[in-house]
Structure 1
Amino acid sequence: MNSKKTKWYEDSRFGMFIHWGLYSLIGVDEWIKSINHMSDEDYDRLVGKFTADQFDADEWAAAAKQAGMKYAVFTAKHHDGFCMYDSQLTDYKSTNSPAGRDFVREFLDAFRKAGIKVGLYYSLLDWHHPDYPHYGDINHPQRNNPAAKGVERDFQRYLDYMHGQIKELLTNYGQLDIMWFDFSYPKMAGETWQPQKIMDMIHQYQPQMLIDNRMEGSGANYGTILSAHPSNYAGDFASPEQMIPPKPIVNELGEPVPWEACITMNKHWGYNATDDQFKSTSLIIHTLVECVSKGGNLILNVGPTPLGTFSAPTKKLLAEIGEWMAVNGESVYGCTTAELAKPEWGRYTQKGNTLYAHIQEESISAFPIAVPKERIKQMTLLIDGIEVKATDYWALSAFKEYSYIFLHQDVTIGYPLPDPKDTVVRIELT
């Protein structure tokens, strides 16, 4: 792993994923074309309805910045093959819709202006291209359609098209910080994509850019990024989806592997008009802190509406997360796994000799910190800047390997928490 190359990424810890495309107009799922076995004719009617009348990339960037997100990744092309940029290799693109706009360029311009690192998601699959495998593929909308059986397809022609589009994104849109490839699956993985050609372009045009691990793996299969000898296209970071690993991710040599958990706000990646099961602000904050405590990032997904806006629940969540991050961001940015094991009341993160106690559960008594008092130089409650003192409360004196703190002066209880979402205490160690 090239730690210098990934340092900005590992310091950032919190990013935004954005899934937006034709599928948003149906308002069900970004996989709707595959789920419903839709024909090109039926699905492509959406192109004429795609107006994105209220899209404002600056508003998106402002919401991400307010939430404390340091990088963002936008879907340049999802599995349906519709390009959200002005590709010169296809007419199937946003600039040929009523919207008539290059959304990739507008996204990149706005987020860069806001000081946010930028990345593009590019699907290795393409359910619109005639030469991508149809019948017999496990994901294609026409996988079970007898009419698609026996049709001659030139997969090399598709690969040339895919490589050409990747080159467009690498050469026409300025510096990119991440390219997020998605995804590999049985019979369509690794060398199938002719990855050396892709890596050669990356090294030539965007050598500083990071890529995920999905040219090789996806889901439970991480590919050779966990190997002692990873391939040259194994990726710079792992990408567990809709879960957080039970422990830090390391390779076969025991070396830390950068990673990010990609997590949705509700149950869908793309916009779903009826999915109101959004995670609570506290749960998302706890998820972010858990990722950091295990040496990873959280990239939190937003599925904009067909008109190009963030829904009201989305904006509310981002604002509330931002309020917490404005106070407690130092316990996230640049932090990683702590030297102490997970405590019962929450989690630790750490940056150098500064330990952060994330207290997420109330207690009837003091909170134990698993270091002796002699190692503690100072403790501060981030929410109000008040110094926290280690207590000499008589009932705790038998357990000298711990230090103990109360969060309320002159009160020997651990409730209520000053911040019910996540109360953070900065602990400066010797």
Structure 2
Amino acid sequence: MAAASPDASQLPDSPGWFEAARFGLFVHFGLYSLAARHEWVRSREAMSQQEYDRYLHRFDPDLFDARQLARTARESGMRYAVLTTKHHDGFCLFDSALTDYTSVRATGRDLVREFVDAMRAEGLRVGLYYSLLDWHHPDFTVDEHHPLRGTPAEREPRDMARYRSYMEGQVRELLTGYGPIDLLFFDFSYPAKGPEAWGAGQLMSMVRELQPGILVNDRMGVPGDYVTPEQYQPDRPLERDGVPVRWEACHTLNGSWGYDRDNHDYKDPALLVRMLVQSVACGGNLILNVGPTGRGALDPRARATLRAIGEWTELHGRSVHGAGPAGFETPANALCTRRGRHLYLHLPAWPLKHLHLPGLAGRVRYAQLLHDGSEIGFQETDGARHEHNNLAPPGQPAGTLTLNLPIARPDVLLPVIELELAEGE
């Protein structure tokens, strides 16, 4: 993992689409999808290139439908999507003049082209993932992650300068051959290989020159535009020297990025929705990964999970899209976001009849359940007439707003109460 990004507000011409979107789709697809046992299968099992090529010879993504994938992303409430153009195994899903190790040479299909066109057609922002590692390239030096570690290949003469030239050429192809790209996700630096290994400064300068409005992540080892905590959920805004930074939590459905047939450790859709809301409440984004099968389709569990999330976002999307931290004291057992003059209280635990909100008395004009637009009554505690007001809840400090909730919890993954604030709040 690399250095954190600078303060988002200090970035020149910083696009606001990323913060407004809040929710994205990650797609990991490649030769490892045929192995169906994790995207690191070649490294984990120390496969030779010849062994791994059995997947190349059988690669046939006949069920990879980028248009359906784009519709699924949009209907799930996602506003951008990122595809693995090349993962650590070096296999490219795009048409590269620099290697034959591509989906175009294997199948005649440029899957990056299909993906980019489909996402744009659905109105989604487009992101491309590119691995800094490449276990197929003959000049990428053998290190602790390489499948050929512990073999005579460790003593072969390899030239990282030639590899850097290759990598720079491929990034140039991606940023000049597919129109405007909104986001570039490099992956990843580690002790054996950092910014010098990648020529990170020069590569970043080229990216900025080719696509001035692009957002670049933080994994080359030099500052990028946003930080990318992986399989970790922040519970507070991320800061650098006390200044908030732009960030995106990267999560899988089941712990694997690539298709993993026998991994059934799936996260519940309700948990994933809470993770999305928690990200927004802390000023960040969530990107949720799917790993299509070896034939390119989403497996039934992934489809069902995204469908369930989509049913929630259809009713509650405005509590996350364009929203951010609430900026006031959050009640216990609640997650709060704000969008303009509207506060959104997300309630993982449903209270008994009342929800007390200190400091909000006199600041709220209207309250409703977001999923059905049904009004929620409330009363305010001003202290002076507390003891004589039978409607005022006992024991609450002055300035408390108390919502009167129905006994029955709404039948949604995560109930949301929308509060309309008074003018000037």
What TM-score do you get using the length of structure 2 for normalisation? 0.92
Shift in alpha-carbon separation, 1:117–1:419, aligned structure 2, 3 A: same
Q: Which residue of 2 aligns with 1:42?
A: 51
CA distance in 2, matches of 1:103, 1:15: 19
Q: CA deviation at 1:280?
A: 1.0
Q: Which residue of 1 aligns with 2:133?
A: 125
Q: CA deviation at 1:335?
A: 1.0
Q: CA deviation at 1:18?
A: 0.3
Q: 1:201 aligns with which of 202, 206, 212?
A: 206
SS of match in other structure, 1:390: strand
SS of match in other structure, 2:276: helix
SS of match in other structure, 2:108: coil
SS of match in other structure, 2:378: coil
Q: CA deviation at 1:294?
A: 0.4
CA distance in 2, matches of 1:398, 1:321: 36
What code does the residue aligned with 2:103 have?
S
Q: How does 1:407-422 map to 2 (within 5 A)?
A: 407-408=405-406, 415-422=407-414
Q: Which residue of 2 aligns with 1:228?
A: none
CA distance in 1, matches of 2:301, 2:144: 34
CA offset digits 1:381-411 (Å, max 9, x no partner) = 1111112121463443643332111222xxx
Q: Which residue of 2 aligns with 1:140?
A: 146
CA contact (8 A) 1:372 1:400 kept: no
CA distance in 2, matches of 1:126, 1:52: 22
CA distance in 2, matches of 1:52, 1:391: 59
Q: Which residue of 2 aligns with 1:153?
A: 158
What code does the residue aligned with 1:130 have?
P
CA distance in 1, matches of 2:103, 2:358: 56
Q: CA deviation at 1:56?
A: 0.9
Query: Cα RMSD (Å) of the superposition?
Result: 1.4
1:361 equivalent to 2:366? Answer: no
Q: Which residue of 2 aligns with 1:300?
A: 288
Q: CA deviation at 1:346?
A: 1.7
Q: Which residue of 1 aligns with 2:320?
A: 332
What code does the residue aligned with 1:403 have?
L
What code does the residue aligned with 2:140 have?
Y
Which runs of 5 or more structure 2 residues have no equivalent in the other structure?
1-7, 381-390
What code does the residue aligned with 2:366 have?
Q
Q: How does 1:5-404 map to 2 (within 5 A)?
A: 5-97=14-106, 99-134=107-142, 137-145=143-151, 147-216=152-221, 233-252=222-241, 254-391=242-379, 393-396=391-394, 398-404=396-402
Greater length-normalized contact order (CA 8 Å, ≥ 6 residues apart) = 2
What TM-score do you get using the length of structure 1 for normalisation? 0.91
Which runs of 5 or more structure 1 residues have no equivalent in the other structure?
217-232, 409-414
Q: Which residue of 1 aligns with 2:4?
A: none
Q: Indicate the percent of aligned positions where both proteins have the same amino acid.
A: 42
Q: CA deviation at 1:201?
A: 1.6
CA offset digits 1:172-229 (Å, max 9, x no partner) = 111100010000000311232112221222222100000100001xxxxxxxxxxxxx
CA distance in 1, matches of 2:286, 2:70: 17
Q: CA deviation at 1:267?
A: 1.7
